[in-house]
Chain A
Amino acid sequence: SYVLTQPPSVSVAPGKTARITCGGNNIGSKSVHWYQQKPGQAPVLVIYYDSDRPSGIPERFSGSNSGNTATLTISRVEAGDEADYYCQVWDSSSDHSVFGTGTKVTVL
């Protein structure tokens, strides 16, 4: 089965840039979606199709995808960005949706 690997945690100072990676075999050939989940809340879609932002998501959130790694970048990090972040793809070989292991972003 297809596996997506994320770092367990990322720490960043306010105003700086956070980069969260999502590793998978030839993930660059797939569409990657990213979700933000705050404690006690349902996830929120922040990036779809590698780099598109849903309406209402700040421009500070951006994404890229190439080779074996997709990346979610949060620029000018704010305290309110502290959350868990998950990547997700559709694995057409198994007809399964796959979520990454999740990354906890801590704002110092």
Chain B
Amino acid sequence: EVQLVESGGGLVQPGGSLRLSCAASGFTFSSYSMNWVRQAPGKGLEWVSYISSSSSTIYYADSVKGRFTISRDNAKNSLYLQMNSLRDEDTAVYYCARDRNSGYAVDYWGQGTLVTVSS
């Protein structure tokens, strides 16, 4: 069974930093591209970042480019999101999401971790 478990969320002040982790199991993690997708309270889904299976290709949404860094450790079956210079508008549930490796569809999602940016 595919499982994606996020961790690392919490309350952080504006301008602060946070590192999210996603532990993957139940599939060959090194064979799949991955994404981070977020959802602000009461709002819709917003794609944040994409990383290919070998980390050779990385993309970011304009809203986070230069502040967030996606990475992965295939030996540890883990995906990460380093978030710096956090703003109020970064408050959201962050989902780790497996790319279907075709057409950029997401076929599995974690349950999400809440990040709250507030003073």
B contact residues around A86 at 8 Å (CB): 44-45
B contact residues, range: 20 to 34
CB distance from A48 to the nearest CB of B (A): 4
Encode contact with A along B71-112: 1 for CB under 8 Å, 0 otherwise: 000000000000000000000000100001011111101111
Q: Is A64 an interface residue (CB 8 A)?
A: no
Encode contact with B along A38-61: 1 for CB under 8 Å, 0 otherwise: 000011110011000010000000
- Tell me which of A35, A97, A102 contacts B50 (CB under 8 A): A97
Q: Is A96 an interface residue (CB 8 A)?
A: yes
CB distance from B6 to the nearest CB of A (A): 10
B contact residues around A84 at 8 Å (CB): 44
> Is A33 within 8 A of B46, CB to CB?
no
A contact residues, range: 20 to 34
B contact residues around A42 at 8 Å (CB): 95, 109-112
A contact residues around B107 at 8 Å (CB): 45, 48, 54
List, sorted by A's number, 18 A–B pairs whose CB atoms are closer than 8 Å: A33-B105, A35-B45, A42-B110, A42-B111, A43-B106, A45-B100, A48-B107, A54-B107, A86-B44, A86-B45, A88-B105, A97-B50, A99-B37, A99-B44, A99-B45, A99-B47, A100-B44, A102-B45
